Amino acid sequence: MQITRGSQIQFIPASHENPDDPGVLKRVLATKKDLFHGQVMMVNWSLLPDGKSFEPHYHEDMQEVFVILNGTVTMTVDDQAHELSRGDAILIDPHEIHRMSNQCGEAVEYIVFGVSTEQDGKTVVVQ
């Protein structure tokens, strides 16, 4: 697991921009060295209503990357709770049991994408 706090990263010019007068800036949340070599299995824009959580689960061979767009959630990974807020990213590796909960008083939206080592990214729900 790896957490990146967007609020602690400075904006820099995108690589295709003039560094002296950039049109767009970026915060680098993850690089090639952080991500699995494999196939992107999905890219989802997700909504977690207030008071809800998703089932604890893991993926046999898929790394997931979550980027929080608004609000605050608690992501529990292997029984360790981590608070994530707007702009934060978390990388969840295969076999890490994870669950996201929202108790912030508003619906939270996030982007999640999964990279599989080309073995289909099977999901296992933990009871």
Chain centroid offset of residue 97 CA: 14
pLDDT class of 61 with cuts at 50, 70, 90:
very high
- Tell me how far apart the alpha carbons of residues 127 and 121 are, in angstroms, rounded to a whole number: 19
- The encoded tokens of residue 103 equal 């108790």
Predicted confidence (pLDDT) at residue 7 exceeds the cutoff of 90: yes
pLDDT reported for residue 68: 98
Percentage of the residues of the chain whose pLDDT score is greater than 70: 100
- Tell me: pLDDT of 90 over 80: yes
CB atoms within 10 A of CB 120: 13
pLDDT reading at 95 higher than 80: yes
Distance CA 103, CA 53 (A): 9
Which of the pair, 117 or 12, is modelled with greater confidence?
Answer: 12
Per-residue tokens: 102: 């929202």
Mean pLDDT taken over the chain: 94
